[in-house]
Amino acid sequence: MKNLWLKFKNIWTLLHKDIYVGDLRTQNMKACMFVGIFVFIASCVLTTMNMIANRHPITVASTSILALSGLVIVYLIRKGHKMIPTYMMILICLIIFTYYVFSGQTGGTTAMWTILVPLGVGYFGKALYGIYCGIYFQTLLVVLFYTPLRSFFTDKYARFFMDRFPVLYFLNLALMSICLVNYHMSVLKLLDAAEDLRKAKEEAERANRGKSDFLSNMSHEIRTPINAVLGMNEMILRDSLAGSNRLPGDELETRKKFADIAKYSGNIGSAGNNLLYLINDILDFSKIESGKMQLVESDYMFSSVLNDVSNMIYFKAKEKGLKFEVDVDKNIPDGLHGDEVRVRQIITNILNNAVKYTKEGSVLLRVKGEENTHLSANVFNLMIIVSDTGIGIKEEDIGKLFNKFERMDLDRNSTIEGTGLGLAITKNLLEMMGGHIDVHSVYGQGSVFTIFLPQIIVSKEPVGDFRRKFDESIEAMEEYEESFHAPDARVLIVDDTRMNLMVVQGLLKDTGLQTDTALSGAEAIELAYKNTYDLVLMDQRMPGMGGTETMQHIKEECPAYKDIPFICLTADAISGAKERYLSEGFDNYLTKPIDYKALEKMLIKHLPLEKVVLSPKKMQEVLAGEDYE
């Protein structure tokens, strides 16, 4: 019974809603205007017929008033009014019906009025008005038929009808009400569906605009670092050619020349890294959108992740004159299990944004957490808090912060590089890991991003005084030093792009390695026949014979190469690429652009141990367990 009452209340509420909005209102007003025109014409005809038949003056007057009302209705509707004509029609119908009843004319015409008028009022006005009219008509008839006022009626047919079938009037009211309610509810459903379609269309258009803006931004973002690379490279070429043709006589001038070249090279490296971040964001987002993003979980040292991220952000903050502080709870367990690469990416994304959107002041990284005893004794809830004194975020923009292709406050931030995908990627990665992210920001003062991330505890040994270790590592920063020497080892580098061969040879120059290069699969096979190599770095995509085919041919035709490691070099960084190349026979995999640390680490792992001499620094790392590969 309670549910029935609630349903009735819900229907009653919905009946008060106006269903004539937008295009429906326009159509309804046109229909009302045609009704007004019909009423005017029909009333004129009736008035003329009544006058010819010498009908009662009141009858003639009523049809004349009705004709005039039709004209007024048409006029008001043409002026844009909707409810006044509706109320006029209702009032006219009530007056005429009441007149007919009290004049004793309760035959078939009056019975038709009790059906058609409420339906018409419900259609042209509101269903509720039609129901009210029907209640009035039926109540008036019943009261008059079942009271002493019955003597007023002279229509024998009507009296006979009420005597024999009084329930039919109530059935008429019920059916008419059901029809009006059903019509009203059907139109409401159509309006809801139309509203959903409108919102979906707006969302699609907004997404389409976002993609267009994204492509436009990407064109600018990609051109910017490329322009820097080409420009700085031109400066290096000029200074190098000038130096080779005319060496400065003064040592200070010579040092300045080399310092300028080093600065240009640093700018190229920075621009290249920015370009790589853009491409990685696009690739990661495409993986997430296609459902191909997979978490690769393993044991890792959390202090190592923090150290790498902090070192990178420290120098970015230093370049902008920002203070970068790190505060890590010394009791956090160091040995965790999860996707180390994605954890590193999430923290880096948030810290990068903090540095990018902070012009002056500081960026603070705080890390704390607690064991999640509700889920499991081995689960640790990391809380990573990144706060800055940057430009902040408008309150109305916070809800859109994690939308794809969105960049906030573009008028103010148009010069800041980025894809608008970083935070969307971060949010998706956190959700895949069972975590989430909160944002608090004051526009013009700064922002605080708080990451909640559950990780499995592998070792409860704490990270210790990370801040002290970080400060010491910053103070101990030195210029590049190769991690090993291998003058007796010989490596074949295969790539169809001469520039790539020069890059790899340049990165390995200080290690003393003997290197040969091949520009095609056929050339690589020829060199493999003539020489014996300790390791082969093989590009995967080459015209003609690809990397996999070349490797398989060498291993089949040259028995000495069956146990020689082949490392795949490729720009293919999509999900599952490494597993595919390993299944094809490669021993390991390196992505382009090649990171010199990863390259040296790979060679130390796969070159014959007797031919590799580790640098003192690398030996200390191995002995300390910092690098166990």
Closest among 429, 402, 424, 427 to 294, alpha carbons compared? 429
What pLDDT does 237 receive? 72
106-159 pLDDT, tens per residue?
555 555 666 667 777 777 667 777 777 777 777 776 666 666 665 655 555 455
CB atoms within 10 A of CB 556: 10
CA–CA distance, 553 with 535 (Å, rounded to integer): 16
Q: Kindly state the tokens that stand for 469.
A: 């270790």
Round the CA-based radius of gyration of the chain to a whole number and report it.
Answer: 42
Q: Kindly state the tokens that stand for 126.
A: 């509101």
What pLDDT does 298 receive? 86
Angle at 163 (CA atoms; ends 161, 169), nearest 5 degrees: 60
CA–CA distance, 264 with 234 (Å, rounded to integer): 9
Closest among 434, 404, 427, 451 to 305, alpha carbons compared? 451
What pLDDT does 101 receive? 62
CATH (one of 2.60.40.10, 3.30.565.10, 3.40.50.2300, 3.40.50.720) for 298-475: 3.30.565.10
CB atoms within 10 A of CB 105: 15
What pLDDT does 345 receive? 84
CA–CA distance, 455 with 167 (Å, rounded to integer): 74
Tell me the three state secondary structure of residue 568.
strand
Tell the residue number behind the tokens 């267009």, with chain if given.
212
What pLDDT does 185 receive? 79
Tell the residue number behind the tokens 């605080």, with chain if given.
448
**Mean pLDDT per segment of 10 residues, for the chain of length 629 residues?**
66 67 67 76 81 73 76 76 69 68 56 67 72 75 65 54 59 76 78 82 76 59 63 68 61 69 69 68 66 78 82 82 90 88 87 89 91 70 93 84 64 53 83 91 91 90 75 54 86 87 84 92 92 92 87 89 90 70 90 81 91 77 52
Q: Kindly state the tokens that stand for 261.
A: 């070249």
Closest among 82, 74, 178 to 127, alpha carbons compared? 178
CA–CA distance, 248 with 239 (Å, rounded to integer): 11
CA–CA distance, 380 with 362 (Å, rounded to integer): 29
Instruction: Work out whether strand 298-301 and strand 379-388 pair parallel, antiparallel, or are unpaired.
Output: unpaired
Q: 484-623 adopts what CATH topology?
A: Rossmann fold (3.40.50)
What pLDDT does 313 receive? 84
Query: Which amino acid, 363?
Result: V
What pLDDT does 227 receive? 61
| DSSP bridge partners of 386 | 365, 449
CA–CA distance, 618 with 114 (Å, rounded to integer): 99
Tell me the three state secondary structure of residue 174.
helix
Instruction: Work out whether strand 446-462 and strand 436-442 pair parallel, antiparallel, or are unpaired.
Output: antiparallel
CA–CA distance, 77 with 71 (Å, rounded to integer): 10
| DSSP bridge partners of 569 | 539, 590
Domain ranges of the chain: 10-164, 298-475, 484-623
CA–CA distance, 580 with 428 (Å, rounded to integer): 25
